[in-house]
Structure formats: C-alpha cells, structure tokens
Structure 1
Amino acid sequence: METPAVPAELKRALRTPSLVVFGLAYMAPLELLAIFGVISENSLGAAAGAYLLATFAMLLTASSYGKMARAYPVSGSAYTYARKAIGPKVGFLSGWAILLDYMFLPLVVWLIGANYLHEAVPALPLWACVGLFVVITSVLNILGVKVADRANLILMALLFLIIIFFVILSVGQIAGPEGNGFSLHPFYGEHTNFGAISAAAIAAYSFLGFDAVTTLTEETHEPQKRIPRAVMLVAALGGVIFVGLAFFAQLVHPDPFFDNPDTAAVDVVAQIGGPLFGAIFIAGVIIGEFASGLTCQWGATRLLYAMGRDNVLPRRFFGQIDKKWQTPVFNTVLTGAVGLIGIFMSVETSTSFINFGAFIGFAMVNLSVIFYWRQHRGEHLNPVSYLVVPALGALVAVFLMTQLDGTALLIGAIWLAVGVGILAKITRGFKVAPPEMAV
C-alpha cells in the first residue's frame, strides 16, 4: 500500500530579527526623502510632526495586527483575521481588497527603482531596468526564504549606511557656519497649526508594509510570540527612522516650499553632500527599491497562497508549494509577470490606487479585534486594548482612505465590485460560506 503524498508546506526559517528587517525593507525608509517635499508643504514646514502623528496612528493598527497574529497564527494577514473573527464572506472581501495593494505594490516599487537605475545608467533602456528588477527579485524569492532573507539583510545593511551618512552630513550642515542651527520647528513649524499637520496624511503612506510581516507566520519559529513583537517593532522603528529623517531634512531646508516638491530630496541631498553624495543617494534608492521589491513580492505570494489553499482562488495554481524550493513558485511567477506591466505605466498612474486596499485592510483588522473581544468576553480581555485602541485605529484608517484622490477611490470601488462578483459565484449567490481553511 502506497503512503499518501504529504503536501509541501512553507518552511519555518525566520526569527524576530529577520521579520523586522523584512518589514523595514517593505516600507523602504529612504523613500521618505522622495516625498519629503510634498509632506513639508502640506504641513507648512512640520514634516517631523506629521510623521510623529502618523507613527502614533500606525501603532494603533500594529497593536491590532499583533493581537490577531497571536490568536490566529497562520498566513493570510487581514484576510485570515477578518475571516476568523467576523465571518468568511467579510474575510474574503477583506483579502480581496488588500490584494489590490499586495499585487500591485511590487510593480510600483520596481518601476520607481527602474526609473532611478535608468537615470544613473541612461544607456540601459527603462524596459530593461524593469525587467532586471523583476527577474532578479523573482529568482531570489523562488530559491527560498533563507536565500531571500540573506539578500535582504545585505541590502538593508547598505541602505542603513546611506541613512547614517545622510544624518551625519545633515548635522554638519545644520551646525556649520551656513546652517540654521538646531530647533524643534520641524515638529510644529513657524506657520503650522494642528490642522496643517493632520492634513499631511500622506505621511502615513510611508508605513504601508509593516503589516506584511503577518504573511510570514507559517515561515516563522514560534509565530504567536515573534509575529506580534515584530509587527510592533517594525511600526515603532519605522516611525523613529521617518521622524528622524524628516527632522534633519526639515532643519537643512526649513522653508516648507520647493520649486518642485517632487524632487525636493535632490535639493536637500545636494545641499548637504554635493554631487558625490547625490550619486550615492541615487544608488541607495536603487538598493532600497530592490530590497522593498523583494519583500513586497514575498508578502504578495504568501497572501495568494493562503487564499488559494482556501480554494477562494483556484487551488491548483495559487495554493501550491514547490516541493524542492518550498516556496509558492506559481504565485511568484505571476506577481513577476504583473510587475512587467510597469513597462507600460508611469509611477503616478501605478501609485494612484494601491493605498485603497491597504487602508481597507487596516480598518478590517481593527474591527476584527473588536469582534474577537465580543466572542471571547468570558476570558476577561482588556476592554481598552481590545475595544478603544482598535476603534481608534479603524477610524484613522477610514480617515486616511478619504484623503485618497478620486481616481484611487474609483479604481478601488471597481476592484471591490469585482470581488463581490467572485464571492457571489463561489458562495452560490451568497447562500453558502466560502471554503474554510483547516488550521
């Protein structure tokens, strides 16, 4: 009698440091400087203050992710948490919404990195730059979690060296004879009020990705302990980095306005380090985008795997793990193919809609905590951390979603409508529940 084949599973190879590096790489901390001009103008010179408020807001949601990861230690992130705590239909729509972010964020990251690479090496066509990012990243992710983890550690080490150099050069500029000296103006500005700081909601966009750590639950040792800790650490450390970079950049250039806010980082970098550091900075952005693309694709394939394993997406394709590499190869190839669409898109177009899914996911995870509290009231769960904190987190997520432009909201609404159609089909007109995961 033949022994039944054992399905391939994800390999548990990650610990807390790797999870934190994964989350920080996903957020691409150097990208803050790419949007610094916009935040500076919106906050009237209080970019650090805007990021401080954004950090507080994201920590609320990070707390909810941690609670759900402890309660449901399986892959799937917002999809799994809403499914288990609220219901399978809501879970599917939550997963479908955040899939918009997870599927297309690698494309955006690769496209930004390709643009910088093309600027550094004009002889290399933009389409070839996009292709290089997609192919190299996809191969590393197929080879396995350990290979991708090691590559990620090296890339992030180089990126943090550049951040350290930026801070050192900024301090030299600020304290020098032509500098403006140190002050707390980057936190409130000379012309800033609370309304101006809160209007800089775009600062919260820099945090997108801290939640992706939860998609690695089934590749983590002791996930119920390590995942909640890693989520909070990523959000907190990301906040420290963002606030610090914004603080120094605003002191270097206290005037909140720039001739072109989209290229403000170039002005700041040139002011503190000249052409040499400008070239190093461009290299740092390319490295940062590569590391971010590696982790973005990593997280997307795990969400697709969780939904495929549930049969809410075709299991024969999405729910398969390669026996040799122990990675979801089909999902990796698919996300890489989606990334190649970036050859025909602009950065502005590609970034117009991905945040919709992220904020929907944030709101649903916070609501999941509240529903979980309702289901487990007999366990005497703390009502502040299980009711007040997630309620505030959900309100913040909804507020941030309202700050998106009309195009993003329209595309997001269309995406959700398609999801409702798929849900109607797999539930036979909403009469039965979607397939349930065996945990």
Structure 2
Amino acid sequence: MATSSQELRKLERTLTLPAVVVLGVAWVTPLIALATIGIIIELSNGTAPTAYLITLLAMIFTAWSYGRMASVHYQSAGSAYTYVGVEMGPRLGFLTGWLILLDYFFIPLVVWLIGAAYLAAQFPAVPLGVWIVAFIVPTTVLNIIGIKIAAKANYLLVAFQLLVIAIFVALSLAQFAGQDTGATLLSPFFNQGTTLAALATAAAVAAYSFIGFDGLTLLTEETHDPRRTIPRAMLIVVAFFGVLFVGVAWVSQLIHPGADFANVDSAALELARLVGGHLFAAIVLAGLIVGQFACGLAIQAGASRLLFTMGRDGVLPRSLSYLAPRFRTPVIGIVLIGATGLVGLFMDVTTSASFINFGAFSAFVMVNLSAIVHYWRHRPGSGAGAFLGWVVLPLAGAIVNLYLLLSLEVDARIIGSIWLALGIVWLAILTRGFRRPPPRMQLETVDRPQEDSP
C-alpha cells in the first residue's frame, strides 16, 4: 500500500518542451511589454531598450543557474527555496523562500494596480480604488469556488496578446518610416540624458516584467526528460521575452523620443492612439485588462497554494492550510491575498513593482550562489567548460542581480529589508532561537487544492 500511495502522489509526465515554453510565456504575460513601458522609459531617461538589455543579461545568467540546478534536482519539482536549502543549508533556504513569498504574496497587488491604472486613465471620472476593488472581488471569488482556466485558454490568450503586440510594432514602424519623429534607429539606446544610474534604476524595475519564468522549475515532475527540457525551456522563455521587451521598447521610442507622458502608468494607451487612433487604443486596453485579469487569477491561485503549503508544513500559521469544505480551495490564503491587494489604494505602480523585485533579486542571487556551491561540493563536471557553466556564469548572474538589487528605489529597499527582518524574526521563533532546523516545505508532494475541486 505504501508504494501505491507514493505512486498516487506522483504527477504524470505529460509536458513537452513546446508545452512548457507556452506555459512560461503565459505566466510571464506578453502584454506586460506595453503595460509598464511608460515607467521604464521615464526611469531610463528615454533609453528603455538599453535598460531591458541590462535586465536581460541578469535574467539569462539566472535562468542558466536555475537550469543547472533543475538538471541536478530533476527527480521532483524544485524552486529557489529547494535549491538553496539543499546546497547552502535549511536556514538560508527558509529565508530564500521567505523572500520569494514577498513576490508571490504581493504580485497580485501589482497586477491589479496596473490594470486599474489603465482603466482609471480611460475613465477618469471613476476613482482608481473602484477599479482595484473591481479586479480583486471577482478574482478572489473565482479562485475560492475553484474555477480554472483551461490549457487551451492559455494558448488563445497568448496568441491574442502576441497579435496585439505585432500590430503595435507594425504600426509603429510604419509611423516612424512615414514621419520625422526626430529619432534615429540608435537613439532609443543612447541619448544625452543617458546615465548608468538611470539605466540601473530602470533595469531594476524592468525585472518585474520577467517574473514568472522561474516558476517553470515547479513543473519538473510533469515534464518529459526534465533534465534537458526545463533548462532549455527557461532559457527560451527568457530569451523570447528579452527580444520582445527590447523590441517593443525600441519601436516605442522611435515614435515617442524622450521620456515625457501625460500619465506614465498608462503610457501604452498614449502610444496606441499615436499609431492607431482611438480604435487601436481600445483594443490595446481590452488586451491589457484581459491579460491582467487572467494573470491576477493565476498568480493569486499559485500564491494561495504556496501559503497553503507553508501553513500545512508549519512554516506559517497552520490556519493557512484550511480548505473550504465545499470547494476544497485554500480560502484563507486566497482572501488574505485579495485583502492585501487593497494596499494598492495607497501605492503607485513604480513603487509596488520595485519592492517585490527586492524578493526576486535576492532569491536570484541565492540561486546563482547555490550553483557555485554545488560545483565545489560535488564537482559535476571537469575542465574549463564545467568551470564556466557552474562558476563563471552563475557568479556573473549573482553580481548583476546584486547590482540591480542595490539599484532599487530607497523605499523598495526599505520595505524589502523590513520583510527580510520579519523573516529572520519568524525563523528565530520557529527554530527556538536558531537551535533547531526550520520546518521544510514539501513542494514536490503537495496536493494541488485548486485542482481537487469537484
């Protein structure tokens, strides 16, 4: 019976490389390229493509290190928490998981705030808070009753977003070719106002656009040949979005040189009207709202699952592991995340995106370092190639991510540091003054409450 029970708890390997890549693209959300474009342009002093290139460098190195660790820990689903915990000790693993929780817990807030900002710009008579609540309530209700988005819906959503982006790029290039905007093909990458500090600040915020690719490691148990598929999928997803973000930023600055917008939080609508009039702006708005709603729905579900797991394993209060008897969903975590979204009433998009990146960059640094530690402990290869893959590239990733972490806004670093300090205090409580190891989360064996709904 023990063997049978273990088999029941194993996930079926059905995902191929294309399927994993599509899931990664759906999680990151292509239209985020337009959703935050105004903020990146403003922070970079009108050189958004260069800021995205810096971010892409950090993400490529980090995806490489995630891939290295996924190829080693391929037997079951993994995460930054798992990799750091195994390679660098359970306490550092716990704190890495705590920092990741900062992302998972607050990303829905940012998603809803971005969508609300665009609706408020289009309908200024309606207060921003009304739109935030309009996102939170139906999303929370849908996640409680367990309604799921089918895999086919992911394909359709991704296809629609890519179509909108393709039309935007085509119209922008046509506009640039037909009118003298004052820009050259290279001016979006560098201008008189370009500074390293501005680029670093913009790149630190731009990292928000990439968040989601690291979640592919959680699909390890469901993927064919995960040692090869997961690392390849992560690199493909990061490279795809790097090209997409740089390309969208480039054409945006070709038609709109400089960094001035009527409202940076909804700059995509201004750009859409510039190249396609009010009709195309309406299409872009519809795409952004649908994309933000679907993204918020998925992220809230995933974040509540993480809270459920941490509550069940005693890492957080056990009340978080409560499942609604009727729907078999982690209702307390879902409602808690929804309530946290109300903090968006008092924040702007730039600040909210910045402070969750504190958790992302911190976790990315630790994953890169865990790859180096694994090499020194286990020597998975020999020669210059192994040293390059296990030490040089991860070290470069750790350095670039640390630099971007330190380039975040002061408020973001303060909020992130407070969150880390709370994690250390909670770890001390769990371990009775660090005298015993912290509880471990069994992410690879957790039942998926959202999928168990009848």
Instruction: Evaluate the alpha carbon distance shift between residue 435 and residue 134 of structure 1 in structure 2; reply closer, same or farther with a 3 A threshold.
Output: closer
Correspondence 1:422 to 2:421: no
Counterpart check, 1:133 vs 2:136: no
* Pairwise CA distance, 1:315: 6.9
Q: Is the 8 A contact 1:212 1:299 kept in 2?
A: no
Percent sequence identity over matched residues?
45
Match of 1:365 among 367, 373, 387: 367
Question: Which residue matches 2:340?
Answer: 341
In 2: Cα distance, 1:308 partner to 1:168 partner: 49
Name the CA distance, whole Å, in 1 between partners of 2:182 and 2:243: 23
1:414 is matched by which residue type in structure 2? Answer: I
Count residues with an aligned counterpart: 431
Matches within 5 A, 1:188-203: 188-189=190-191, 191-192=193-194, 196-201=198-203, 202-203=205-206
User: Which amino acid is 1:334 matched to?
Assistant: G
In structure 1, how many angstroms separate the alpha carbons of the residues matched to 2:319 and 2:227? 29
Q: Conserved in 2, the CA contact under 8 Å of 1:52 and 1:243?
A: yes
* Aligned mates of 2:325, 2:373 — CA distance in 1: 37
Measure how far apart 1:36 and its partner are: 2.4
Report the AA paired with residue 82 of structure 1: V
Inter-partner Cα distance in structure 2 for 1:306 and 1:220:
22
Alpha carbons of structure 1 residues 196 and 99: separation in structure 2 relative to 1, 3 Å: closer
Residue identity opposite 2:36 in structure 1: I
What are the equivalent positions in structure 2 for 1:293-312 lying under 5 Å apart? 293-301=296-304, 303-304=306-307, 307=310, 311-312=314-315
Q: Distance in 2 between matches of 1:123 and 1:247?
A: 33
Residues 62-83 of structure 1: CA distance to partner in whole angstroms, max 9, x if unpaired?
A: 1011111111133341100100
Q: Which residue of 1 aligns with 2:173?
A: 171
Q: Output the CA distance in 1 between the equivalents of 2:316 and 2:271.
A: 46
CA distance in 2, matches of 1:94, 1:154: 34
The 3 A distance-change label for structure 1 pair 4 and 250 is closer
Mean alpha-carbon deviation: is it higher for 13-22 or for 240-249?
13-22
TM superposition score normalised by structure 2? 0.83
* Structure 2: gaps of 5 or more residues: 445-454
- Gap runs ≥5 in structure 1: none
The structure-2 alpha-carbon separation of the partners of 1:302 and 1:252, relative to structure 1 and needing over 3 Å to count, comes to same
Equivalent residues in 2 for 1:84-123 (5 A)? 84-117=86-119
| Distance across 1 between alignment mates of 2:55 and 2:67 | 18
- Equivalent positions of 1:366-405 (< 5 A) are 366-377=368-379, 379-380=381-382, 382-405=386-409
Check 1:183–1:117 CA distance in 2 against 1; reply closer, same or farther (3 A cut).
closer
CA distance in 1, matches of 2:96, 2:109: 21
The one-letter code sitting in structure 1 at the alignment partner of 2:15 is L
Aligned equivalents of 1:395 and 1:87: distance in 2?
Answer: 21
In structure 2, distance between residues paired with 1:53 and 1:2 = 50
Instruction: Measure, in 2, the Cα distance between the counterparts of 1:421 and 1:245.
Output: 43
1:353 counterpart SS class: helix
| Distance of aligned partners of 1:114 and 1:138 in 2 relative to their CA distance in 1, 3 Å threshold | farther
Asked if the contact 1:10/1:321 (under 8 Å) is kept, the reply is: no
Amino acid at match of 1:31: I
Q: Distance in 2 between matches of 1:189 and 1:404?
A: 22
Partner of 1:15: 16
Q: 1:118 to 1:10 in 2, by over 3 A?
A: farther
Question: For the residues of structure 1 that align with 2:186 and 2:112, how far apart are their CA atoms?
Answer: 36
Which residue of 1 is the match for residue 213 of structure 2? 210
Change (3 A) 1:102 1:198: same
What's the offset of the Cα at 1:229? 1.4
What's the offset of the Cα at 1:253?
A: 0.8
Q: Could you tell me which of 355, 358, 372 is aligned with 1:356?
A: 358
Find out whether 1:276 has 2:279 as its counterpart. yes
Residues 75 and 306, structure 1, Cα contact 8 Å, conserved in 2: no
- RMSD over aligned CA atoms reads 3.4
Note the 1:214-293 alignment, pairs <5 A. 214-293=217-296
* Displacement of 1:362: 0.7
